[in-house]
Amino acid sequence: MNIVVCLKQTFDTEAKIVIDGSGNIDSTGVDQIINPYDEFAIEEALQLKEKFGGEVTVVSMGPEKAEAAIRTALAMGCDKGVLITDPGLENPDEWVTAEVLSKAIAQIPYDIILVGRIAVDFGASQVGVRLADLLDIPSVSSILKLEIDGDKATVTREIDGGTELIELSLPAVLTAQKGLNTPRYPSMMGIMKAKKKEVKVLNLADLGLNASDLQPKMTVQKFSLPTPRTAGKKIEGEPAEVAAELAKLLREEAKVI
């Protein structure tokens, strides 16, 4: 079985976000990691490989430093990596990302494509379904369980208030939700082997694309941080006085009663 996993390098979820003077996110000194939802996709791919055999190829689009995320996936057990990097891809939206990934993946044999349900930076949750549309194959989002039988897949996906069971034909794009599995950590041997595994670096020309044809459909005008939380209040006194004061604050300040 040939499996492709799309991954994105994102900020560490515990990193402190800083907006610079020009209104952009300042990445100076911020640790970069594999998007956490993509880790579920990687783990599921590795479990499929262990069960059915085959090969897992990781595909990422981003700056040159995104190779570090690919190397981590290779250390976990993936076989090959593909990095698409180009000056013309400095600020892509989800449409551009899906267009570029689809061209790269079309050059790779695949039976199934796994993607994280959402990226924790922009949170659009669009790339997986857009990719499936461009490749003209079915997709299911937010899967919690996956079973493969020949060229059929049976998936349990999360929906509002419950789950849904879906059967579909392969190849397909499936987006991984938290709860699908528990991602493994790279072993020391895996880290050593990853240094020798192939990471193919491509640019737009290699994919037959031109930056002028990949103008984002959406642009971000500015970034802003949420309003800082105000300090809590401690009410002291006799129980009756405290209860009365609390009710007053909830009514007049919090406006919840």
Q: According to the model, what pLDDT value does residue 14 have?
A: 83
207 and 254 fall within a common domain? no
Closest CA to 101 of 60, 137, 58: 60
**Residue 9 binned pLDDT confidence (cut-offs 50, 70, 90):** very high
Residue 240 sits in the same domain as residue 170:
no
Domain membership of residue 224 (yes or no) is no
Q: Is the pLDDT of residue 233 over 90?
A: no
Compare 157 and 28 and report the one with higher pLDDT. Answer: 157
Same domain? For 248 and 189 the reply is: no
18 found inside a domain: yes
Is there a single domain that holds both residue 185 and residue 235? no
Give the confidence band of 226 by pLDDT, cuts at 50, 70, 90: confident
Query: How many domains are there within the chain?
Result: 2
Looking at the domain assignment, is residue 218 inside a domain?
Answer: no
Do 97 and 45 sit in the same domain of this protein?
A: yes
Distance between CA atoms of 212 and 194, rounded to whole angstroms?
A: 35
Residue 96 belongs to domain with CATH number: 3.40.50.620
As a whole number, mean pLDDT of residues 33-58 equals 97
Q: What's the sign of the alpha-carbon dihedral 183, 44, 189, 83?
A: negative
Q: What percent of the chain has pLDDT over 90?
A: 78
**Same domain assignment for residues 141 and 254:** no
Residues 146 and 189 in one domain: yes
Residue 32 domain-assigned (yes or no): yes
- Per-chain mean pLDDT for the chain: 93
| Per-residue three-class SS string for the chain | CEEEEEECEEECCCCCCEECCCCCEECCCCCEEECHHHHHHHHHHHHHHHHHCCEEEEEEECCHHHHHHHHHHHHHCCCEEEEECCHHHCCCCHHHHHHHHHHHHCCCCCCEEEEECCCCCCCCCCHHHHHHHHHCCCEEEEEEEEEEECCEEEEEEEECCEEEEEEEECCCEEEECCCCCCCCCCCHHHHHHHCCCCEEEECCHHHCCCHHHCCCCCCCCCCCCCCCCCCCCCCCCCHHHHHHHHHHHHHHCCCCC
Query: What average pLDDT does the segment 59-79 reach?
Result: 96
Q: Are 236 and 198 part of one and the same domain?
A: no
CB–CB of 126/98 below 8 Å? yes
Q: Which structural domain range is residue 235 located in?
A: 230-257
Residues 206 and 234 in one domain: no
Regarding whether 253 and 167 lie in a shared domain, the answer is no
Query: Is 223 among the domain residues?
Result: no
Same domain for 163 and 249? Answer: no
Tell me: the pLDDT tens digits for 89-101? 988 999 999 999 9
The pTM of the full predicted model, rounded to 2 decimals, is 0.87
Examine the pLDDT at 39 and tell me if it is beyond 80: yes
Residue 222 lies in a domain: no
The answer on 237 and 178 residing in a single domain is: no
* pLDDT at 16 (0 to 100): 83
Q: In what order do the strands lie in the sheet with 162-169?
A: 162-169, 152-159, 139-149, 173-176, 112-116, 2-7, 55-61, 80-84, 199-202
Contact 252, 246 (CB under 8 A): no
pLDDT at 186: 95
> For residue 219, is it within any domain?
no
